[in-house]
Chains A and B, each alone.
Chain A
Amino acid sequence: MPPKRKNDAIVKVEDVGMEVDAVLDSGSEDEARRRAKNRRPQRKAKRVSDDEEDEEDEDEAPRKRGRKKKAKPRDSDEDDEEDSRSVKSKGSKASRRKAAKEESDEESEDDRQKRKKRGRAASKQEKEEHNKEKKGNVKGKEGMKDKGGEKDKKKKNGKMSSSSSSSDSDGESLSEGEIEALKEQVEEKKRTIATLRNQPWRMKRRLVVLKEAQEFVEKFEGALGKGKGRKLYAFKVMMTKKLIKFKRDFDNFKTACIPWERKIKEVESHFGSSVASYFIFLRWMYGLNLVLFGFMFGLVMLPEILMGLPYGSIPRKTVPREEQDTAMDYAVLFDFGGYCKYSFLFYGYYNHERKVGVLQFRLPLSYLLVGVGIFGYSLMVVIRTMARNANEGGDGAEEGEFTFSWKMFTSWDYLIGNPETADNKYASITTSFKESIVDEQENQKDENIHLRRFLRVLANFLITSCLGGSGYLIYFVVKRSQEFAAMNKENLSWFEKNEVEFVMSLLGLVCPPLFETIAELEDYHPRIALKWQLGRIFALFLGNLYTFLFALFDEVTAKLESEKSIKNSTEWALNQYYSNYSSFFNTTDVPPPAVHPADVIRGPCWETAVGIEFVKLIVSDIQVTYLTIMIGDFVRAVTVRFLNYCWCWDLEAGFPSYGEFDISGNVLGLIFNQGMIWMGAFYAPGLVGLNVLRLLSSMYYQCWAVMCCNVPHERVFKASRSNNFYMGLLLLVLFLSLLPVVYTIMTLSPSFDCGPFSGQEKMYDVIMETIEQDLPSFIGNIFVYATNPGLILPAVLLMVLAIYYLNAVSKGYQQANIDLKKKMQMARDEEKNRRNNKDSTNQVMKDLEDLLPNKSLIPPPTEEEPPPPDVVVEKGSKSPKTKPGTAGKGVNLQKDVSLAAPNPRAPVTRAPGPRRGPPGRAGGPQPGPGRGRGRGGPPRQ
């Protein structure tokens, strides 16, 4: 009897109440089977009487009937199963026993579901109980239950079935129904504990179930008691409800705490998700920088300011005498000379004293660790974010058949009550429609594939040659500027002096629009086009970076050389002084030379110079960006808007028009800016703070600018919220900026008279020193071993292997994912088809079909393929999961199917049961339609 059996799980879940009753009846397990057998005829009789009764009070319980009808036969079944499982014994047939074992798995599923369902089933249970009572059921033995029944009755009489809706939980916090349900549950749990010993489960599962049951009983026992216990329970329930409400409020609060969420939503609703993705990225960047600033400020700057020597105490913290006159000049400060240069913003200010202050804070060590840790942390965060975004999945293009229909019929949020929000919602609906139109056009574009390919290759060729040309130009200009640098500065014209900057900004100005124009040839979807554009401009900007670094390294080498000579001369002067002093005063106890710190001869301190370069770059970048927005967007918008009244052509629609938001440029600007920060942070700790300010102001400024002066793109397109492409670029830049910093740390020797590492041969010597002096010796040994090439090589090998393995695994998962997606799609289609078929059948046909499964019960063995009409009925009832062999709805359902399919028990156990009775009897049609219709409920309603 395939159909019946397959529905078992479902029915069981739904008929929790019934099941409970049934099991209660069979109080003593030993005679359960006998009783169950005896009871069967009774049941049938009872069923008939039930029906009669129902007809009597037709109006009162119209909805109970369906349930009851199908619940009854289930009831006895349930007994069967329970018994066979718990007794698991002597008289039963071998097959049955086997089946019981197999069933147990399924059962556990049920149990769990039941438990979940319990709360909702409360009202159901009540009703069932009520029925029972009406029937004059004498089987309820436990006092508890009787009491429950009485109470139930009283309540019914008193206030006319208040239980009909489960949603009226407002009002009293603890209704009668809830207590009732809880009592039931507690009873059931107790019984579970009692019978657990007999269950044919694994020990582990038994323990789990036992623990759960005990906890439950302990928790809710109070509800059963009177007086204090009950009050306590009521209090608990109230607290739970309060807690839930609090949690919801807290979630709301958390959402409200996401900074700029409303601003971004507003931008998104007007400009589409692509523009919003930039702002989301900006916000993320701000968060990252805030953390970096926290590290830098808390572990480096603050200790030096609080515990280090004050300004003016040592040469590195003092402005040199010859600079002091101009040190406070605005122009000097603006170039970060003067007091700025000798402040905590830069590397040179920090002292090389090993431990500072009362806390014995190891500042040099901390400086190095923070400098490197910034990279480590950024790397970790970027990669983690990327991984998380990848999990969220998809690049935003959600597939689905009814895209437009969904948007059309479901996009409005009916709870919006605020006019401003409504405006935004209008805008966002419009935008999303536009996005869908673009996607759709892209999908439906039928094209000459050869022409398209040719054009794409051509475009790529053009752009590559553009990039190559500009790369060579940069190289050439840099080369020339080096030549110029060797020449006398007086002879150079202004152009020759600023050639590099000029060429760079010219390229930056010309190339992006050029690329965009060429990209028109390719005719990609805007989303993909944006990625290409990003990649190309990225390559161009790399040239920028290259020139900058090149110039910087030249400067550094020059500084290093001059430093060497200065160092030599100072040492020579010092030696001179010492020998003179000792020979003059004839003593070896020479006091240090009494020179004012401002007058000490000092080296060029290349680290600070590098830091200043970076800070200058960032500042000029900020200026340029803000000015561009001001002029390019705001002034343009104002001009277009107001000159339009007195102009000969339509400015708004015609030539200048309003600006569009340049996503690619802004994103790349942000990324390269961050690269500069990463590179410069080591030499200028204040840089991170500056960047935090920049991002903060940029957020407000750009939000304002975009809302005020820009118009949405011609083709608004949908961008992924995950921004993984941006993240990928960021990761690349992070890596690129990691290289020079690590190179300088590892190879160049620090300046002798400034910065926390002065006096060391290499910067990383600080770590060595700490290991040697402050840590126990065995750790030093460990380090020595760990740095042994013999150990490092295998470690690298191991890592490579691990990467390979993980890669393979992830590929496998991806494949599985795709397969599952396909299956889900198939299942969905199938379900849809079924529903269509079902809607077309009329009531008479259905009744006829409902009769069929009874016939199909008779030939039991082949349960794999129920006869076709049978399938139709199943369709009507409970969705694809009941049909073996289909893909199922998803993973879980599939498991159900696989559990159910091979189970050989069904035909054997059930065949002699009451199931065969009804068709044999004259009343055959009665239960058929009843059951069928009862189950056919949900999809049809």
Chain B
Amino acid sequence: MGSRASTLLREEEIEEIKKETGFSHSQITRLYSRFTSLDKGENGTLSREDFQRIPELAINPLGDRIINAFFPEGEDQVNFRGFMRTLAHFRPIEDNEKNKNSASEPLNSRTNKLLFAFRLYDLDRDDKISRDELLQVLRMMVGVNISDEQLGSIADRTIQEADTNGDNSISFNEFIKASFWASVTSCVLIYAAVLFA
């Protein structure tokens, strides 16, 4: 399957993707085959419904948000390049990349990973997680089992914990400070899920 898929992918294209995302050749071909198997319309792009078919994403309370992250603003199709660009966020950081010059940050840098995770919660893309956004996410996560009042207090507590400048919302810097490295690691797991499913 992998070899067949790679024939559809031109070498130059692979090179470009490799440069952009840091994936290796074999990974790209494998992901390409995965891409084509997800692509039910067979038009070279993925739609939201295609993503919904991945069970891990379908039952994930944040699945919609993750799927959203694959699509650029205002579009509902994503091609292979875009797909790879988003997936590159999940690529683990390697030892030899750690000491790299930070002039051009790779997509899988810690900051970018955190940014990706941050965007999952930042529904309106204003670079702040407000109380309402937290409430929405919470409702996705716990459903109706907890009263609104309690949900509100959870959101308040979360903001209170992470907020340092007192604007009642979590900015990206505050998000980093809370050091949700673990959430990023779990995002890495999505990568594994998508890649090897």
Contact = CB atoms under 8 A, between A and B. Distances in A.
Interface of A: 14, 59, 62-63, 65-67, 70, 117, 120-121, 123-124, 127, 159-160, 162, 164-168, 170-171, 401-406, 408-419, 422, 426-427, 429-430, 433-434, 436-437, 440, 832, 835-836, 839, 933-941
30 contacts: A62-B100, A62-B103, A117-B95, A160-B15, A162-B25, A167-B94, A168-B26, A171-B26, A402-B178, A405-B161, A405-B162, A408-B158, A409-B183, A414-B186, A415-B192, A415-B193, A417-B55, A417-B197, A418-B55, A426-B142, A430-B142, A433-B142, A434-B150, A937-B98, A937-B99, A938-B110, A939-B110, A940-B102, A941-B106, A941-B109
Contacts of B177: 832, 835-836, 839
Given A409-B121, A410-B182, A124 B96 contact: yes
Contacts of B178: 402, 405, 409
Given A162-B25, A430-B142, A412 B111 contact: no
Contact of B186 (A66, A410, A436): A410
Contact of B96 (A123, A403, A405, A410): A123
Contacts of B183: 409-410
Contacts of A59: 19
Contact of A62 (B25, B62, B101, B179): B101
Nearest to A401: B161
Given A168-B26, A168-B27, A839-B173, 9 more contacts: A66-B99, A121-B95, A167-B27, A403-B161, A406-B182, A409-B183, A413-B189, A416-B59, A426-B141
B180 A937 contact: no
B37 interface: no
Contact of B100 (A168, A170, A836, A937): A937
Given A165-B23, A429-B141, A429-B142, A67 B99 contact: yes
B26 A440 contact: no
B189 A408 contact: no
Nearest to A877: B99
Contact of A430 (B22, B143, B158, B190): B143
B56 interface: yes
B99 A938 contact: yes
Contacts of A168: 24, 26-27
A408 B134 contact: yes
Given A408-B138, A412-B60, A938-B99, A164 B24 contact: yes
Main secondary structure on A side of the interface with B:
helix
Contacts of A934: 99, 101
A832 B174 CA distance: 11
Q: Which 3 A-B pairs have the closest CB atoms?
A: A941-B109, A422-B59, A63-B100
A225 B7 CA distance: 36
Contacts of A839: 173, 176-177
A940 B23 contact: no
A437 B121 CA distance: 22
A412 B104 CA distance: 32
Contacts of B95: 117, 120-121, 124, 166
Interface in B104-125: 104-106, 109-111, 117, 121
Nearest to B141: A429
Nearest to A934: B99
A297 B30 CA distance: 58
Contacts of B25: 159-160, 162
A417 B192 CA distance: 13
A444 to B, nearest CB: 10
Contacts of B60: 412, 414, 416, 422
Nearest to B193: A415
Contact of A66 (B27, B101, B162): B101
A415 B188 CA distance: 10
Contacts of A171: 26
A165 B22 contact: yes
B157 A404 contact: yes
A940 B101 CA distance: 11
A165 B141 contact: no
B154 A408 contact: yes
A409 B190 contact: no
A933 B102 CA distance: 8
Contacts of A413: 186, 189
A402 B102 contact: no
Interface residues of B, number: 66
B90 to A, nearest CB: 10
Interface in B144-160: 145-146, 150, 153-154, 157-158
B61 interface: yes
Given A417-B55, A429-B142, A433-B146, A933 B101 contact: yes
A16 B161 CA distance: 41
Contacts of A401: 161
Contacts of B99: 14, 66-67, 70, 934-935, 937-938
Contacts of A939: 110
A136 B29 CA distance: 35
A688 to B, nearest CB: 42
Contact of A437 (B27, B154, B161): B154
A430 B146 contact: yes
Contacts of A409: 117, 121, 178, 180, 183
B84 interface: no
Given A162-B25, A168-B26, A415-B189, A63 B97 contact: yes
Nearest to B186: A414
Given A168-B27, A409-B183, A430-B146, A938 B98 contact: yes
Contacts of B153: 437
B96 A406 contact: no
Nearest to B30: A170
B92 interface: yes
B9 interface: no
B87 interface: no
B59 A419 contact: yes
Nearest to A408: B158
Contact of B62 (A117, A165, A412, A427): A412
B62 to A, nearest CB: 6
A59 B20 CA distance: 11
A60 B80 CA distance: 24
Contacts of A402: 161-162, 178-179
A739 to B, nearest CB: 49
B101 A414 contact: no
B137 A414 contact: no
Contacts of B92: 167
A839 B175 CA distance: 12
B17 interface: no
Contact of A404 (B18, B26, B143, B161): B161
A440 B180 contact: no
B105 A414 contact: no
A66 B146 contact: no
A67 B95 CA distance: 11
Contacts of A422: 59-60
A18 to B, nearest CB: 12
Contacts of A70: 99
B183 to A, nearest CB: 4
B129 to A, nearest CB: 9
Contacts of B145: 426-427, 430
A884 to B, nearest CB: 23
Query: Could you say which of B22, B98, B143, B189 has the most chain A C-beta atoms within 10 Å of its C-beta?
Result: B98
Contacts of A419: 55, 59
Nearest to B157: A404
Contacts of B187: 414
Given A65-B101, A426-B142, A437-B154, A414 B189 contact: yes
A936 B109 CA distance: 13
Contact of A412 (B96, B106, B186): B186
Nearest to A833: B177
A166 B94 contact: yes
Contacts of A160: 15, 25
A167 B108 CA distance: 14
A403 B158 CA distance: 8
